[in-house]
Amino acid sequence: MRWNDHPEPPVTRGEGLRALLLDDDEYALEFLRALLTDRYPGLEVETRLEPTSEGEHDLYFLDDDFEGVRLAGELARRIRKERPGAIILAMSASLDALTLKELLAAGCNGVCDKKVSSDLPEMLRTLDRCLDELEAQRSARPEGMLHTFRELFQEWNRRLEDQGQDRGSGTPS
């Protein structure tokens, strides 16, 4: 067996990604933090009781209602402007059609109705798909970048052959 025949180790979901959870309910924050860290062991999770989105995060969970004031739409617009590739999920205990429309228009990737028990599993499935996409974007190699010694040697040989052909034809290299 050669050194490069070994399969790559499994990737821990969420590895290297940072999440920010915003909710004025500390019990909701703790529940969501525990749920996310259990499901995505590599995810770094920060919680805040205040509606502030400062900092570099890849994933945002926004409660819509902060002490009677709907703020998730405003927060989502600000986050989307500053972090266009971020995943933004909003949660609301008083979700209606108008609020749903506003949150999606503000840039949320998904919205969860806290009163509907089936929304949480669906939100997690949506999050799985979003994280898969985010991790795929991060792991995609930049164009022109070589990943293996074999590719490097093949590229060197191709360049040497091209130089030899250029010299043989009298074309300066």
- Number of CB atoms found within 10 A of residue 102's CB: 19
Alpha-carbon dihedral sign for residues 81, 73, 23, 125 = negative
Overall average pLDDT of the 71-91 stretch? 93
Helix (H, G, I), strand (E, B) or coil at 110: strand
Q: Give me the residues paired with residue 110 across strands.
A: 89
Report the mean per-residue pLDDT for the chain. Answer: 82
Pairing of strands 44-48, 59-63: unpaired
For residue 118, the 8-state DSSP code is T
Residue-range domains of the chain with CATH? 18-139 (3.40.50.2300)
Q: Lay out the sheet containing 87-92: strands in order across.
A: 44-48, 18-22, 59-63, 87-92, 110-113
Residue 133 pLDDT exceeds 90: no
Residue 148 pLDDT exceeds 80: no
pLDDT (0 to 100) of residue 149: 57
Q: Measured between alpha carbons, how far is 64 from 46 in angstroms, rounded to an integer?
A: 18
More confident residue, 27 or 171: 27
| Token couple for 20 | 């920010």
| Token couple for 10 | 């499994």
Report the amino acid identity of residue 106. Answer: A
Overall average pLDDT of the 14-43 stretch? 91
From the list 69, 68, 71, 100, the residue with the least C-alpha distance to 60 is 71
pLDDT (0 to 100) of residue 12: 58
Pairing of strands 65-66, 59-63: unpaired
Overall average pLDDT of the 142-161 stretch? 65
Q: Give me the residues paired with residue 91 across strands.
A: 63, 112
Residue 135 pLDDT exceeds 80: no
